Chains A and B, each alone.
Chain A
Amino acid sequence: GAVVSQHPSRVICKSGTSVKIECRSLDFQATTMFWYRQFPKQSLMLMATSNEGSKATYEQGVEKDKFLINHASLTLSTLTVTSAHPEDSSFYICSVLSSGGAPDTQYFGPGTRLTVL
């Protein structure tokens, strides 16, 4: 499967600051990436679809001005949590959509644990 990295793996920040999380597709060019949020003991909740060279598509209820997504290249998408608050503390996971022999397959990154104090 595809190799997907995320950086940082863990981040602790103060309330009101902004945090940027990077998602990289290491072994193929990804036109489409997805960002998910996962609270403890819960399922993955899709936040947005990130397409290279265009604006991200956000799911209902996700604030696009708070969760800024940039997909500037075929191997990198970033999620910036602006003015973070304790309720934004969660596990953020990105995935890349395969464009090769398994076109529907999503490969996930290792996740980023965000803690907002």
Chain B
Amino acid sequence: QQQVKQSPQSLIVQKGGISIINCAYENTAFDYFPWYQQFPGKGPALLIAIRPDVSEKKEGRFTISFNKSAKQFSLHIMDSQPGDSATYFCAASMRYNQGGKLIFGQGTELSVKP
């Protein structure tokens, strides 16, 4: 119930292509869904986040699509660049329960080829 399942585990995309990473959850009490980007040896950096009252959020080349009925959300990276090569984590939390703890997905290692 507390798990967030992320796929694929790794992804190779050509420069200029679209990178798509998917996550699924079971607990309908989750109400906050962030995506983090992590480079090797660094801490995760918040990329973009969404709440279940909207179906899509876009910030620059990054878009979150949210499907509440399917309990799925995805990250789309448009015009992928070699600098986007990193590990991406989806996560979920509940505002009024568990003190804002984040439940992380397993991570996706993205490699963008020039």
B62-75 vs A, Cβ < 8 Å mask (1 yes, 0 no) = 00000000000000
User: Of A43, A51, A104, A113, which is within 8 A of B32 by CB?
Assistant: A104
Interface bracket on B? 20 to 34
The residue in chain A whose Cβ has the minimal distance to the Cβ of B33 is A104
A26 vs B89: C-alpha distance when bound (angstroms): 25
Restricting to A80-106, which residues have a CB under 8 Å from any CB of B? 91, 93, 95, 97, 102-106
A2 vs B63: C-alpha distance when bound (angstroms): 22
Q: State how many residues of chain A have any CB contact under 8 Å with chain B.
A: 28
A58 vs B46: C-alpha distance when bound (angstroms): 24
Q: A43-B89, A44-B89 are in contact. Are A106 and B102 (CB under 8 A)?
A: yes
Which residues of A are interface residues toward B (Cβ below 8 A)? 1, 4, 6, 32, 34, 41-44, 46, 49, 51, 57, 91, 93, 95, 97, 102-111, 113
Which residues of B are interface residues toward A (Cβ below 8 A)? 31-32, 34, 36, 41-46, 49, 89, 93, 95, 99-102, 104-107, 109
- 16 pairs of residues in contact across A and B, judged by CB atoms under 8 Å: A32-B100, A34-B102, A43-B104, A43-B107, A49-B99, A51-B99, A57-B99, A97-B100, A103-B95, A103-B100, A104-B32, A104-B95, A105-B46, A105-B49, A106-B46, A108-B46
- Sample of 9 more A-B contacts, CB < 8 Å, known A104-B49, A106-B46: A1-B46, A4-B43, A42-B107, A43-B89, A43-B106, A57-B99, A97-B100, A108-B46, A113-B41
